[in-house]
Structure 1
Amino acid sequence: MRVRGITLQQVLLGAALLAALCWNLAQASEIKGLQLDTGATGTRAELELAGQAEYKVISLANPDRLVLDVADSDLARGFRLPAAVGIVKAVRTGHPQPGTTRIVFDLAAPVVVLKPRLEAAGKGARLVLEWPGDASEPAAVANSGADDAPTAPPADAVPAKPEVDPAVASAAATARLIADLPASQPAPPAPPPAEQVKTTVATGVPTRIATGVPAPAPGASPLDAMTAPQAPAADQPPVKTLQQVMRGRGMRPLIVAIDPGHGGQDPGAIGMNGKREKDVTLAIGRELARQINATPGLKAYMTRDSDVFIPLNRRAQLARSNKADIFVSIHADAAENRSAAGASVYVLSLKGASSQRARWLADKENASDLIGGVRVSNNNMLASVLLDLTQSGHMKASEDAAGHVLDSLGRVGSARRVERANFAVLRTSDMPAMLVETAYISNPEEERRLTDPGYQRKVAGAVLDGINAYFTRQPPPGTLYAARAAAASSGGAAVGGGSP
């Protein structure tokens, strides 16, 4: 009898656990609500979810629409579609396939949504979509649901198209001229036709200065051409880019200094198949710059954009002279253990290293100056002490930013932890700084991935996601990030005086 009693208890317990699991799954797939607001930085949509969810966003043209597909989901009982507002002139829902809920936003202008983000919200989650631009009057077209707008095509009928690369779509949105924005100051002269301008700094180091015009992704697809900037017709009034709108409102872009490690006579680590660290870091750095320049509110600056050697302290000086807000040095790690794998992120420590591995890596990276022929001098002790004092104020910010980048890299592959050591290249004194070891070039499998453009795009995207998360949570004043935060905290209302 005792054995039977235990068996029955186990059965009942298992049934209860199964019922609880089914209830949780049902709750996690529920879409509870949708809210639309417009404010100083554009139109914002917030989708309230019962839990984390997988989603896909597709931008379509002629007519302009944004399609959001949420997998394994359904609308909650009592779900109501919001009224048209800002750039969104109508919202409708449907089910393109069983288990997938589709929400279609009909747009009044060809403005591509910023990169969506999923945020924790109480016991659930919140999916945020934002369309950049000035606040505008609600669209005259009424909301079109399944019952009250028979003339609108159902959401299920939206043709499936390949998903647009978020960086490319954002590039098209910001580089495309945004229509119907009131002029706040005369438009600046048109930029040169080249996507970037080459120049030479005083030290003779060739450098590429970002112009804000995003470069096309390698191997761009025909879908990318659909979102390419179009020249306005001769009879249309002049319109402005988002960069011009930001300048007119007194906002500045946040400058990300990208430092591809090694270069010139310093090849860095060399993989089993002969791939050189200096080439990998330059390729990833260029891709990161492309994605940053395609992100509203950010601008890239590269310490080197060719195979040249730059002393470690000069890299930090270049970042400071170009008024960078954050410094990211890109590297590809090496280890005697060929099976070592994964990404790591390091920040500066003036009081010893967090591990023997971090100390060894800092010593190795600091030796780059010796390889390049730079004579190391300790004569300027006062300057060193002053640098230590000013740098200490940015260490916490560096760790916060590095933590966000490491979290994002963990979604691409394995990632270790944020470590600390005395890296000479990170002694920037006046901005958060980190050194990103993207992968182990000494690992043959990771060496192969590091030279793959597709993997380079993923790594660059992960670094950008971390930078974006850091500035979103700690937005510097006078930037688009600060304006978005102010608009969100005031419930989407415009900031006083009409400018952020």
Structure 2
Amino acid sequence: MRVLCLLTLCCLASVASGAELRDLRLWESPEGTRVVFELDRVPGHKVFTLDNPARIVIDLPATRGLQTAHAAQGKGDVRSVRAAEREDGSLRVVLDMARNVEPRVFLLDPAEQYGHRLVLDMPIPEGAQAVPEAAVHAGPPVVAEAWQPRPIVVAIDAGHGGEDPGAIGKSGLQEKNVALDLAQRLARLVNAEPGFRAVLTRDGDYYLGLRERVTRARKAQADLFVSVHANALKNRSMRGSAVYVVSPRGASSEHARWLARRENAADLVGGIALENKDDELAAVLIDLSQSSTMEASFDVGGRMLQALGKVNQLQRTQVQQAAFVVLKAPDIPSVLVETAFITNPTEEKLLRDPAGKQRLAQSMFLGIKGYFESYRPRESGRTVAGAAPRLQKVRTE
């Protein structure tokens, strides 16, 4: 038996009255399985593992919610969930596992509709059989046109997911589901175009870290990164589509981050090793990559915004800038699309309507296609080498 975590955080009044398990949720992702216990107060808890067969045991002192625990279904490495009330008033939940896994246990504070949460993350063991990454599920490679020896790769990122629902409309429509639907529709349009291939950062309802989304795009050697979202405000009259690229502040912070990690940045600047370069030269090389990428991001963002304006009202007629983490890849043109306001009754209907979502996806694709009709990746490689731009202008005369 290996005791992993023991916290006694409930005050005497809380223990006396008892806590309530409001929900027990399981999420499966390519990285592993997440189990979330949602309670009405900070949970005291004890978590330990058992072998032969593999199990994870969670004891919740002075907690009621047996039926809630019983209703949970196994996912990923969690084959089944069992629960029982103990004589001391605690609730014991047992996760029957497919294999021995050491869970990472942590607490999350209340956020919006969620209460206090006890989270168990169970990563797939190193070297074990893993669920295929979402990026390879978006469709088979498409044979490129004669002038392009390989397809143009568009990484499509569905915002939020899993325990993070994003914004929620008045009818209960969740941004994470809308974003995934739109991303999948856009991926199908991209894959149907000769010479293009789409990759999805996530293809299911699970949470993915922001930097992991960018990492997946870079592993797929993406030529463009598109993050799909739905906007929200308390003012339900606010409406309109918007497109964002990284802000100068966001770009500056990422510039510093890559400079600090120069030993890992060779692929960013066309294979040039930076660890033996002085700060000034390394900074110039990274800046060349960023400048070309930001210019391209504005270009594709403007085209997408123009196309979106034919489907929906625009919140802003110009491409906006913000320090979104998912837009900070220095070597991949990146845009974040706020397709519509999920909190606006009219636009929520648009986001719920299959035909409306298809029109939004089509407008995003038109912007992407128009961009690559004018610019295409260099045939010699994906990254910027020295002062050479990542993309080259296509002659139109």
Summarize the alignment of residues 303-382 of structure 1 with structure 2, pairs less than 5 Å apart.
303-351=201-249, 382=260
Counterpart residue number, 2:39: none
C-alpha separation between the residues in 2 aligned to 1:478 and 1:382?
30
Equivalent in 411, 419, 423 of residue 310 of structure 2: 411
C-alpha separation between the residues in 2 aligned to 1:266 and 1:201?
26
Equivalent in 263, 274, 283 of residue 172 of structure 2: 274
Contact 1:208/1:305 (<8 A) preserved = no
C-alpha separation between the residues in 2 aligned to 1:261 and 1:311?
10
> Aligned residue pairs: how many?
233
How big is the shift at 1:388?
Answer: 7.1
C-alpha separation between the residues in 2 aligned to 1:407 and 1:256?
19
C-alpha separation between the residues in 2 aligned to 1:483 and 1:392?
14
How big is the shift at 1:383?
Answer: 3.3
Q: What is the DSSP-based 3-state SS (H/G/I as helix, E as strand, rest coil) of the residue aligned with 1:256?
A: strand
How big is the shift at 1:445?
Answer: 1.6
Counterpart residue number, 1:464: 365
Letter in 2 for 1:382: A
Letter in 1 for 2:138: A
Larger relative strand fraction: 2
Normalised by the size of structure 1, how large is the TM-score? 0.42
C-alpha separation between the residues in 1 aligned to 2:131 and 2:137?
15
Equivalent in 448, 451, 455 of residue 349 of structure 2: 448
How big is the shift at 1:429?
Answer: 1.7
Go from structure 1 to structure 2 and tell me whether the alpha carbon gap of 1:249 and 1:466 turns closer, same or farther (over 3 Å shift): closer
Go from structure 1 to structure 2 and tell me whether the alpha carbon gap of 1:456 and 1:203 turns closer, same or farther (over 3 Å shift): same
Contact 2:225/2:333 (<8 A) preserved = yes
How big is the shift at 1:444?
Answer: 1.6
How big is the shift at 1:391?
Answer: 3.0
Counterpart residue number, 1:126: none
Q: What is the DSSP-based 3-state SS (H/G/I as helix, E as strand, rest coil) of the residue aligned with 1:251?
A: coil
Cα-to-partner distance string for 1:22-76 (whole Å, 9 max, x where unaligned): xxxxxxxxxxxxxxxxxxxxxxxxxxxxxxxxxxxxxxxxxxxxxxxxxxxxxxx
Go from structure 1 to structure 2 and tell me whether the alpha carbon gap of 1:430 and 1:297 turns closer, same or farther (over 3 Å shift): same
Contact 1:259/1:327 (<8 A) preserved = yes
C-alpha separation between the residues in 1 aligned to 2:374 and 2:157?
24
Go from structure 1 to structure 2 and tell me whether the alpha carbon gap of 1:432 and 1:471 turns closer, same or farther (over 3 Å shift): same
Letter in 1 for 2:192: A
- Within the alignment, does 1:210 sit opposite 2:138 as a pair? yes
Equivalent in 286, 293, 297 of residue 394 of structure 1: 293
C-alpha separation between the residues in 2 aligned to 1:323 and 1:379?
20
Normalised by the size of structure 2, how large is the TM-score? 0.53
Counterpart residue number, 2:195: 297
Counterpart residue number, 1:288: 186
**Runs (4+) off by over 2 Å:** 200-213, 243-246, 350-353, 378-381, 383-393, 475-479, 482-486
Counterpart residue number, 2:150: 252
Contact 1:391/1:427 (<8 A) preserved = no
How big is the shift at 1:205?
Answer: 5.3
C-alpha separation between the residues in 1 aligned to 2:185 and 2:211?
24
Contact 1:402/1:434 (<8 A) preserved = yes
Counterpart residue number, 1:127: none
Measured on the aligned residues, the alpha-carbon RMSD in Å equals 3.3
Go from structure 1 to structure 2 and tell me whether the alpha carbon gap of 1:201 and 1:398 turns closer, same or farther (over 3 Å shift): farther
Counterpart residue number, 1:383: 261
Counterpart residue number, 1:9: none
C-alpha separation between the residues in 1 aligned to 2:177 and 2:370?
28
Cα-to-partner distance string for 1:68-91 (whole Å, 9 max, x where unaligned): xxxxxxxxxxxxxxxxxxxxxxxx
Q: What is the DSSP-based 3-state SS (H/G/I as helix, E as strand, rest coil) of the residue aligned with 2:310?
A: coil
Cα-to-partner distance string for 1:110-168 (whole Å, 9 max, x where unaligned): xxxxxxxxxxxxxxxxxxxxxxxxxxxxxxxxxxxxxxxxxxxxxxxxxxxxxxxxxxx
Q: What is the DSSP-based 3-state SS (H/G/I as helix, E as strand, rest coil) of the residue aligned with 1:296?
A: coil
